[in-house]
Structure 1
Amino acid sequence: MPPIVIRSEAPPITISKEPPAEQPEANDSQPTPLPSPEALPDPTASASTGSTKASVLLSEIPIKGRAPRTGYDRDLFGNGWGDPDRNGCDARNDILSRDLDVYTYKTGTRDCVVLTGTLLDPFTGKTIEFQRGQGTSNAVQIDHVVALSDAWQKGAQKLSPERRIAFSDDPLNLLAVDGPTNASKGDSDVATWLPPNRGYWCEYVTRQIEVKHKYDLWMTKAEHSAIVRILDEQCS
């Protein structure tokens, strides 16, 4: 289970640096309602459903070959982070708030823009100190559990633009993780990449199953076989 978020009573601080361009932040100029604590699922919730449910969902996912990557563009899944739950915070900050033990938020954002906090990284098992800013924000990245390019090659080409954006911003498909480890994953599927932390494999593949099932995506034979093996060995 990830650490419970405890908001510090210390006065929030303001920094002037902006996050890297690839990780856009919420509009700080407009006050927004506080997010509901029930708005986002717990990042380990999928494991609690058990391997039986995961196996049932897996049996309903088609097995096909990987389609060409032709035509793939990140912007086909939305330009930057959206606000799928309409709480006034973009998806990146929502996930940081969910997955980090947050210390401070940016002044004037009503606990939306995360400035500092600690992550117990599910990919490596190590503790990471997060500080928002140029050159520091990327220590913690938001991973698409099912990578966008992988999804594109396994059915997302046929999704509507709205459905692709929903996929990209879905909390079920998002995790705050160690930046360098996330970079090493790239657009790999389970057949070619797994988190270094073996203790997280069951939750990781279960989430892959749930996301691909939810968005009508398929798996390759190698990917399916790797997931079956992990379910048998790690989730029983």
Structure 2
Amino acid sequence: MARRTHFRPRRFRGTGPFERLLMLLVIAAVVGITAGLILPKVSPTVGEITGEYTASGPAADALEQLTIDDQQSGAGYDRDSFGFRETDDDGNGCDVRDDVLARDLTNVIFSASKRCRVESGTLQDPYTGQTIDFVRGAGTSSAVQIDHVVALENAWQSGARDWDRAKRVRFGNDMVNLLAVDGPANQEKGSASAAYWLPTNSEYRCDYVARQIGVKTKYALTVTTAEKRAMLAVLRSCPTQQLPQ
């Protein structure tokens, strides 16, 4: 009777000293790389040591001049007190939303009956990097929304609560702080500061953070420690970043 021969797959056994040393070196390298990438993000102390929050350039210099306030309060916040879309500072007779759409969209088509009213156009969305075809309508207008780059509630928490209504309205309609952006991205951002939200389009992050710094500088608003660190971490990769004009 023929005997059955069983073949077992050969397994690599790192039993020799060289193999064990090699495995330990590989494990150490993986752990080291992982720690180097993750620890600066989760530990501010490690981030300071590794230079995660070290940046230079005009935008970073302006950030250093902003006051830090870690005791911010949103008590009493009222979005309506900023009067968004209630002014016409340039005197062209146009709603500020249409002014922003006309500035930020290409291939703009205006209403035949209302010269300022933007009916359609194309947005190269800075937040997502996507191309969005805007068409005004009850079910389509929300695809493109107007974002306050420094959110109104964030402005309230960082100093606007002490302003009079006139200054709040001026802030709420300041074109430097307004961008036409992807609607869902704007909803996702909400009132978050740079500490909690940044555009998914990484190529726009330097411009985004610089615009927030520019607006906060213009209106003498404060930043939190976490917000400042998040901004510095972005600006680290763009040392020539200017503030928006």
Q: TM-score, normalised by structure 1?
A: 0.75
Q: Report deviation, 1:79.
A: 5.3
Distance 1:235 1:53 in 2: 8
Distance 1:137 1:226 in 2: 32
Distance 2:131 2:146 in 1: 16
Distance 1:79 1:85 in 2: 15
Name the counterpart of 1:160: 164
Distance 2:106 2:86 in 1: 21
For each residue in 1:94-142, what CA deviation from the matched residue of structure 2 results, as whole angstroms up to 9, or x when unmatched?
A: 00000001331112323x1100111000001110000111111000000
Name the counterpart of 2:101: 96
Q: Is the 8 A contact 2:126 2:201 kept in 1?
A: yes
Q: Is the 8 A contact 2:120 2:136 kept in 1?
A: yes
AA aligned to 1:63 is I
Q: Secondary structure at the match of 1:118?
A: strand
Q: 2:68 aligns with which of 63, 66, 72?
A: 63
Aligned-pair identity (%): 50
- Whether 1:172 and 2:176 are equivalent positions in the alignment is yes
Name the counterpart of 2:59: 54
Q: Report deviation, 1:67.
A: 2.1
Q: 2:112 aligns with which of 107, 112, 124?
A: 107
Give the number of aligned pairs.
185
Name the counterpart of 2:190: 186
For each residue in 1:22-74, what CA deviation from the matched residue of structure 2 results, as whole angstroms up to 9, or x when unmatched?
A: xxxxxxxxxxxxxxxxxxxxxxxxxxxxx622122112110011422111111
AA aligned to 1:202 is C
- Whether 1:231 and 2:235 are equivalent positions in the alignment is yes
Q: 2:89 aligns with which of 81, 84, 92?
A: 84
Q: TM-score, normalised by structure 2?
A: 0.73
Name the counterpart of 2:78: 73
Q: Is the 8 A contact 1:66 1:153 kept in 2?
A: no
Q: Is the 8 A contact 2:127 2:181 kept in 1?
A: yes
AA aligned to 1:74 is R
Q: Is the 8 A contact 2:104 2:123 kept in 1?
A: yes
Q: Is the 8 A contact 1:81 1:92 kept in 2?
A: no
Whichever of the two has the greater Rg, that structure is 2
Q: Is the 8 A contact 1:154 1:217 kept in 2?
A: yes
Change (3 A) 1:177 1:235: farther
Q: Is the 8 A contact 1:202 1:235 kept in 2?
A: no
Q: CA RMSD in A?
A: 1.3
Q: Which has the higher helix share?
A: 2
Distance 1:62 1:160 in 2: 20
Distance 2:124 2:239 in 1: 21
Distance 2:205 2:73 in 1: 28
- Whether 1:149 and 2:139 are equivalent positions in the alignment is no
Structure 1: gaps of 5 or more residues: 1-50
Q: Is the 8 A contact 2:66 2:222 kept in 1?
A: yes
